[in-house]
A and B are shown apart, each in its own frame.
Chain A
C-alpha cells in the first residue's frame, strides 16, 4: 500500500511537472512578462518615483567646463574601449567636457574602488562607472556624492541610492523583440526553431526566453517553438547540443536561437559543419568578434546585442545633463545628442533604446 501511494505521488509529481513545462517555452521563468508592442512603440512602463541618490551641495556647473573620469570594470578590452570611444565622442561634441577613462586592468572590485577613491581625492566634477559589484562599489560612490560629485553608471549598475542615474543598455522585452523579429524575418512567420541556452535556471536567459515566448505569442503567433536545450556556458557542449538538434529535426528545423555568447557562435559552428548555412538561421546574443567569421561568410545574418559606443555616448550626455541641472528627478526623458530623446524607466534608469543588431555591413566596425 505504501509503495502504491509512493508510486501514485511520484506519478502525479511527474505529470504535474510536464504540465507545467508545456505551458510556455521551456527554459523561461514564471515571472510576469511585458512584451513590447509589435510595431515597437515604447511599452508603458509603470511610473516609479526617483530612487537614485543626489550629490551634497554640488557647485553650479551649468554650462561650465567639467572634468569627468570614466572608471569601467576594467580597461584594455574591446568592449570598454568601445564605451570609451562613445564617451570621448560625446565629450568632443559637447565641447565643455574634459573626459578620460582610467581603471583596473582586471575586473577587480577592490582595484576599481581604489581608482574611484583616488579620483575623488584629486577632485573631479563627474564620475562614470560600470560596477564590478553593485553592493561593494556603493560606499565609495556615496562618498563621491557627499563630495558634490555627479555620479552616473552604465553597463553594470550599483545600488540605486549610490549613484544618480544609470544608463540601462537593454531591457529583457527589448532584447526579446529584437531576437524574435529577426528570426521571423529570416525563417518566415511559420518557421520552426529551437533554443540553445545555458541552463533553464540562469536568471537572465530564463527572463529573455519568457519574454520571447510572450512576444512571439502576440506578434508572430504562427512561429513554432520546438524545444530548448541546455548547454551550460560550454563551447563543446553547445556545439554538440546544436548538432543534435539539427540531426533530430532534419528539415523541420529552420532556426536556432543562441541565448549566450557561448551558445550563439557554437550553434553557428554546428550549422556550418552540418553544411546547413542558408537553410538553418542562427539568431542570438553574442559579441561581434566571436561572430565575425560566421557573419562575414553569410552563415549568420543577425547578432543581437547593444552598441557599446552608443552606451558610452549616452552615459556622457546624461552626466552633462545632470551637471547642467536639465535632468532632474521626475523627468520622463533626456536628450542624448544624436540618439535623440531617451526614455526614463524604473525610477532612475535611462533606457539606451532598442538593441543593436550586428550584420555583415556593420560588424567590421566593432572589436570586442
Chain B
C-alpha cells in the first residue's frame, strides 16, 4: 500500500517537474542569484532594493503575460514596446488635460485592446504572418507617436494619476498588479475553455478546428487579451516617473519576448505558462540590478540574455525531440 502511494506521489512529482521544468529552473536561478549577490553585497537583499527591482520591472512581467499567450497561440507581437509608449502618451495627455484619472487609465487600455484585436483580426483572416503585421504596427505606432507629440515630453501629471507610485501596505502597487494578473492569467489558461483553446490553436491549428474550436475567433480573442495586459503595463509604465518620454522605449519588445521565451513558452507555440514568463521577467530585473552590485558592465546584460535565450530554445528543442 505504502509503496504504491510512494510510486504515485513520485509520478505526480515527476509530472509536476515535467510540466513546470523551465519555471522551476528560472525560479532556482533567481534564488541562486539572490544568494550569490547577497553574499557579495548584503545590501542587495535589503527590502528597498527588492522593492525597486520588482516595482521598476513589473510592467515588463505584465506585458510578458499577454505576450506569452500570443506566442502560445502560435503568433508573436513585435509592436508591444511601441504600443506601451503610445498608451503612456495617451494616458499622460488625458491626465494633464484634466480628465478624471479613471478615464486617463481606462481609455488607453481600451485603445490598446481595440487596436490589438484589430491586429489579431488581420492576422487571423488574411493569414499574413503575425510578425509582418505587427512589424507594420510597430512602424505606424512609432511614427504616429513622434508626429503627434513632436518629441515633447509630458510632465506635471496630477499625483492621483500616478498609480505605480502608490504603495499600499508599503509594497509598490505594480507588484500587486503583477502577482494578481499572473495568477488570474494562469488560472484562466488552465481552467477555461478559451484558455485551452489557445494552447490547441498554437499546437495545431487544423486539429483545433477539427475539435470544434474556431481558430480565427481564438486568435482575435488572444490578441484582445494581450491588448489588455499591454494596456495595464502601459499605465504602470506611464505612472512610474514624473515625466513621460515621447519616444518609444528602446528594445522593450525584445525584453518582453525574451521573458516569455526564457520563461518556457515555446517559440513554436502550443506550450508554456504565464507563470514562467513572470518569473523570467523577475530574473532579468534581478540580473540587471546584480550586474551593478557586482561591478559588471551593463553590456553583459544583453550577452547574458542572449545566452539564456539560446540555452532555453536548445532545451526546448531537445525536449520536443525526446517527446517524439
Q: Given contacts A106-B150, A265-B243, A293-B155, is CB(A232)–CB(B250) below 8 Å?
A: yes
Q: Decide if B289 touches A234 in the complex (CB within 8 Å).
A: no
Q: Given contacts A232-B250, A234-B249, A266-B241, is CB(A290)–CB(B155) below 8 Å?
A: yes
B244 nearest CB neighbor, chain A only: A235
Residue B11 CB within 8 A of the other chain: no
Min Cβ gap B289→A in Å is: 5
Q: Given contacts A239-B241, A265-B242, is CB(A229)–CB(B56) below 8 Å?
A: no
Residue B93 CB within 8 A of the other chain: no
**Chain B residues within 8 Å of A265, by CB:** 242-243
Q: Decide if B43 touches A248 in the complex (CB within 8 Å).
A: yes
Q: Decide if B52 touches A236 in the complex (CB within 8 Å).
A: no
Considering the chains assembled together, what is the distance between the CA atoms of A244 and B150 in angstroms?
32
Q: Decide if A235 touches B243 in the complex (CB within 8 Å).
A: yes
Q: Given contacts A236-B237, A248-B293, A269-B242, is CB(A243)–CB(B52) below 8 Å?
A: yes
Considering the chains assembled together, what is the distance between the CA atoms of A249 and B299 in angstroms?
21
Residue B240 CB within 8 A of the other chain: yes
From 218 to 264 in chain B, residues with beta carbon under 8 angstroms from any chain A beta carbon are 237, 240-245, 247, 249-250
**Chain A residues within 8 Å of B150, by CB:** 106
Considering the chains assembled together, what is the distance between the CA atoms of A227 and B52 in angstroms?
20
Considering the chains assembled together, what is the distance between the CA atoms of A65 and B156 in angstroms?
45
A243's contact among B56, B156, B244, B299, by CB below 8 Å, is which? Answer: B56
Q: Decide if A240 touches B250 in the complex (CB within 8 Å).
A: no
B245's contact among A230, A235, A243, A250, by CB below 8 Å, is which? Answer: A235
B289 nearest CB neighbor, chain A only: A244
Q: What 0/1 readout, one digit per residue, does chain B (71-108) give for beta carbons within 8 Å of chain A?
A: 00000000000000000000000000000000000000
**Chain A residues within 8 Å of B43, by CB:** 247-250
**Chain A residues within 8 Å of B44, by CB:** 247-248
B298's contact among A230, A233, A248, A266, by CB below 8 Å, is which? Answer: A230
Q: Decide if A244 touches B250 in the complex (CB within 8 Å).
A: no
**Chain A residues within 8 Å of B299, by CB:** 230
Q: What 0/1 readout, one digit per residue, does chain A (222-238) give for beta carbons within 8 Å of chain B?
A: 00000101101111100
Interface size of B in residues (CB-CB distance below 8 Å): 32
A248 nearest CB neighbor, chain B only: B293
**Chain B residues within 8 Å of A234, by CB:** 245, 249-250
Q: Decide if B241 touches A229 in the complex (CB within 8 Å).
A: no
Considering the chains assembled together, what is the distance between the CA atoms of A289 and B165 in angstroms?
22
Q: What 0/1 readout, one digit per residue, does chain A (254-295) give for beta carbons within 8 Å of chain B?
A: 000000001001100100011000000000000001100100
Q: Decide if A244 touches B243 in the complex (CB within 8 Å).
A: no
Residue B48 CB within 8 A of the other chain: yes
Residue B295 CB within 8 A of the other chain: yes
**Chain B residues within 8 Å of A106, by CB:** 150
A201 nearest CB neighbor, chain B only: B299
Q: Given contacts A243-B52, A266-B241, A290-B243, is CB(A236)–CB(B292) below 8 Å?
A: no
Residue B14 CB within 8 A of the other chain: no
Considering the chains assembled together, what is the distance between the CA atoms of A249 and B49 in angstroms?
11
A106 nearest CB neighbor, chain B only: B150
Considering the chains assembled together, what is the distance between the CA atoms of A306 and B241 in angstroms?
26
Residue B139 CB within 8 A of the other chain: no
Q: Which of A200, A239, A247 has the most CB of B within 10 A?
A: A247
Residue A81 CB within 8 A of the other chain: no
Min Cβ gap A260→B in Å is: 12
B156 nearest CB neighbor, chain A only: A293
Considering the chains assembled together, what is the distance between the CA atoms of A297 and B44 in angstroms?
30
Q: How large is the interface on A (under 10, 10 to 19, 20 to 34, 35 or more residues)?
A: 20 to 34
Q: Decide if A236 touches B240 in the complex (CB within 8 Å).
A: yes
Residue B153 CB within 8 A of the other chain: yes
Considering the chains assembled together, what is the distance between the CA atoms of A342 and B150 in angstroms?
35
Considering the chains assembled together, what is the distance between the CA atoms of A277 and B39 in angstroms?
29
Considering the chains assembled together, what is the distance between the CA atoms of A290 and B245 in angstroms?
11
Q: Decide if A245 touches B56 in the complex (CB within 8 Å).
A: no
Min Cβ gap B81→A in Å is: 11
**Chain B residues within 8 Å of A227, by CB:** 292, 295
Q: Decide if A240 touches B155 in the complex (CB within 8 Å).
A: no
**Chain B residues within 8 Å of A101, by CB:** none
Min Cβ gap A291→B in Å is: 10
Considering the chains assembled together, what is the distance between the CA atoms of A229 and B293 in angstroms?
11
Considering the chains assembled together, what is the distance between the CA atoms of A265 and B243 in angstroms?
9
Q: Decide if B52 touches A240 in the complex (CB within 8 Å).
A: yes
Min Cβ gap A361→B in Å is: 21
Considering the chains assembled together, what is the distance between the CA atoms of A266 and B293 in angstroms?
20
Residue B288 CB within 8 A of the other chain: yes
From 291 to 343 in chain A, residues with beta carbon under 8 angstroms from any chain B beta carbon are 293
Q: Decide if B243 touches A239 in the complex (CB within 8 Å).
A: no
Considering the chains assembled together, what is the distance between the CA atoms of A152 and B293 in angstroms?
49
Residue B46 CB within 8 A of the other chain: yes
Residue A241 CB within 8 A of the other chain: yes
**Chain B residues within 8 Å of A289, by CB:** 155
Residue B214 CB within 8 A of the other chain: no
Residue B41 CB within 8 A of the other chain: yes
Considering the chains assembled together, what is the distance between the CA atoms of A262 and B153 in angstroms?
11
**Chain B residues within 8 Å of A248, by CB:** 41, 43-44, 49, 292-293
From 201 to 231 in chain A, residues with beta carbon under 8 angstroms from any chain B beta carbon are 227, 229-230
A245 nearest CB neighbor, chain B only: B292
A-B contact sample (5 more), CB < 8 A, given A200-B297, A236-B56: A240-B289, A244-B293, A248-B49, A269-B242, A293-B155
A selection of 25 A-B contacts at a CB cut-off of 8 Å is A106-B150, A227-B292, A227-B295, A229-B298, A233-B247, A234-B245, A235-B243, A235-B244, A235-B245, A236-B241, A239-B56, A239-B240, A241-B298, A244-B289, A245-B292, A247-B43, A247-B44, A248-B44, A248-B293, A249-B43, A265-B242, A269-B241, A273-B165, A274-B48, A290-B243
Q: 7 smallest A-B Cβ distances: which pairs?
A: A247-B49, A240-B56, A235-B245, A243-B52, A244-B292, A230-B298, A244-B289
- Chain B interface residues (CB < 8 Å from chain A): 41, 43-44, 46, 48-49, 52, 56-57, 150, 153, 155-156, 165, 237, 240-245, 247, 249-250, 288-289, 292-293, 295, 297-299
- Chain A interface residues (CB < 8 Å from chain B): 106, 200, 227, 229-230, 232-236, 239-241, 243-245, 247-250, 262, 265-266, 269, 273-274, 289-290, 293
